[in-house]
Amino acid sequence: MREDLQLLYELVSDDLAAGDPAAAAHRCAKMEPSDVADLFRSMESDDKIAIVRHLDAPTAAAILSEVDDRSLPELFELLRDEEIVDLLDTLPSDDAADIVGQLEDDHQDRVVGMLEQVDQQDAAELTELLRYPEDTAGGVMAKEYVSIREDQQVGAALPELRAMPDSELADLHFAFVVLADGTLVGRIPLLKMLLSDPTCPARDIMEEEPVAVNVLEDQERVAHLISDYNLMSVPVVDAAGKLVGRVTVDDAIDVLTEEATEDVARLAGSSAEEVGETSILRISRARLPWLLLGLFGQILAAVVLSRYEDSLRTWEVLVFFIPMVMATGGNTGIQTSTIVIRLLVTHEFDTRRAGRHLMRELGVNSLIGVLLGGVMVAVLAFWKKDLRVGVVIGVAITSVVLISATVGSMVPLILHRFRIDPTIATGPFITTVNDILGIAVYMALAHWLMTVL
């Protein structure tokens, strides 16, 4: 299958090179929208627009809904407003809101105004969705759902189901049951509804008190809720408990992917915006602050090291192992903090057992430190024929591993306790802190042990 896609990619490129965007669009129409979106990553904006203009509106809309957010504003600047409206009119409300949300405010108003002339209901739904912050349940929910009053017969919902397009029926699994004022009280699986007697009241076959989320709930919490409860979709309600939309499992996957991208970027001391960025200046600006932090940290480590200049002249052998001590401390801190952060961001960490977790990490790293220290004692006794140097390096390694593990475990937990994103504490930050502490501990222990031994 991958080979077929690669061939299609090459054929599309050949069509564009030959100046035949219609043929390229015809090939793209046969591909999955997500695969075309991948192809768009390596294409110039003019070529993307040429293909989009030769596609029917539903196909083009499906492709653009898969394109990364960074590329959308650039593409939409090249499309005419009427073309944008045609695309929005075929998209699910949540995808349309995501796309319009990338436009400038005045451009949003203009497009929504034009959409209102075509379809007032779509324009009203789009306006409502744009009011919610993009990182909330309201910002990712869809307005396409089926609802039925609890006192209605289940057959009353069938005409609405039959009128829905196939694209909306594909991810529709429940009909939501509401009171006369719109308050959510239950749900009915569609298959159960279709197999039930059409004259049966909805209240008799509904599942009561379904899992629901508030419209202002954080999108990551909603995504984890869908994952934890194995839901295909979750209803969204307002402060009064009235049904206003639903979040589907595909939206949850997108949210978790987005959050994972942000977390990984922070772990590396960068930002999620860098992913897909092509500007050298913007990428450098995202990375530079953390690298400057590391640079000043290393300057501080050099200052600490200079305090022991006389000791280093006396025992030159200590200099050889400074990189090893710093690297071991940094690696230990990153290993420990990564595990803690993974537990925190996946909501698997039990804060009531934080002490037990810390003791476990200290136990693990105590064993690791002793083993690494023992290895260095043996290596230096054989290499330098000096057991004293081996003991100094071995004790220093053991101490640095323990300190680094403590820092790696405690810093994310402390930040989490104060509701600060723990991913900002990793990468360059923890590495720099451990380098400074590692050098200080190493030189202090070495100075003391070489004096007393």
Query: 397 and 300, same structural domain?
Result: yes
Query: 443 and 305, same structural domain?
Result: yes
pLDDT at 265 over 70: no
Query: 174 and 118, same structural domain?
Result: no
Q: Does residue 276 belong to any structural domain of this protein?
A: no
CATH of the domain at 447: 1.10.357.20
Query: How many domains, the chain?
Result: 3
Query: 159 and 123, same structural domain?
Result: no
Q: Does residue 381 belong to any structural domain of this protein?
A: yes
Query: 314 and 218, same structural domain?
Result: no
Share of the chain above pLDDT 90, in %: 22
pLDDT at 2 over 70: no
| Mean pLDDT on 58-65 | 83
Q: Does residue 287 belong to any structural domain of this protein?
A: yes
pLDDT at 270 over 70: no
- Return the top range by mean pLDDT from 123-137, 324-338, 364-378: 123-137
pLDDT at 360 over 70: yes
* 139 vs 333, residue with greater confidence: 139
Q: What pLDDT, on a 0 to 100 scale, did the predictor assign at position 164? A: 82
The residue from 74, 108, 134 where one domain ends is 134
Q: What is the pLDDT of residues 214-233, one digit of tens each?
A: 999 999 899 989 988 889 99
Query: 158 and 105, same structural domain?
Result: no
Q: Does residue 183 belong to any structural domain of this protein?
A: yes
| Band of residue 269 on the pLDDT scale cut at 50, 70, 90 | low
Q: Does residue 267 belong to any structural domain of this protein?
A: no
Q: What pLDDT, on a 0 to 100 scale, did the predictor assign at position 283? A: 64
pLDDT at 213 over 90: yes
pLDDT at 1 over 50: no
| Band of residue 98 on the pLDDT scale cut at 50, 70, 90 | confident
* 98 vs 142, residue with greater confidence: 142
Q: What is the pLDDT of residues 308-347, one digit of tens each?
A: 887 777 777 778 888 888 888 888 888 888 788 777 776 6
* 18 vs 68, residue with greater confidence: 18
| Band of residue 286 on the pLDDT scale cut at 50, 70, 90 | low
| Band of residue 259 on the pLDDT scale cut at 50, 70, 90 | confident
Distance CA 174, CA 151 (A): 17
CATH of the domain at 102: 1.25.60.10
Query: 157 and 115, same structural domain?
Result: no
Q: What is the pLDDT of residues 441-450, one digit of tens each?
A: 888 887 787 7
Q: What is the extent of the structural domain holding 390?
A: 281-452
Query: 190 and 169, same structural domain?
Result: yes
The full 3-state SS of 303-358, as one line of letters, equals HHHHCCHHHHHHCHHHHHHHHHHHHHHHHHHHHHHHHHHHHHHCCCCCHHHHHHHH
Query: 402 and 313, same structural domain?
Result: yes
Q: At what angle do helices 21-29 and 45-53 cross, to 10 degrees?
A: 70
Report the range of poorest mean pLDDT among 71-80, 178-187, 388-397, 441-450. 71-80
Which residues make beta-bridge pairs with 208? 186
pLDDT at 82 over 60: yes
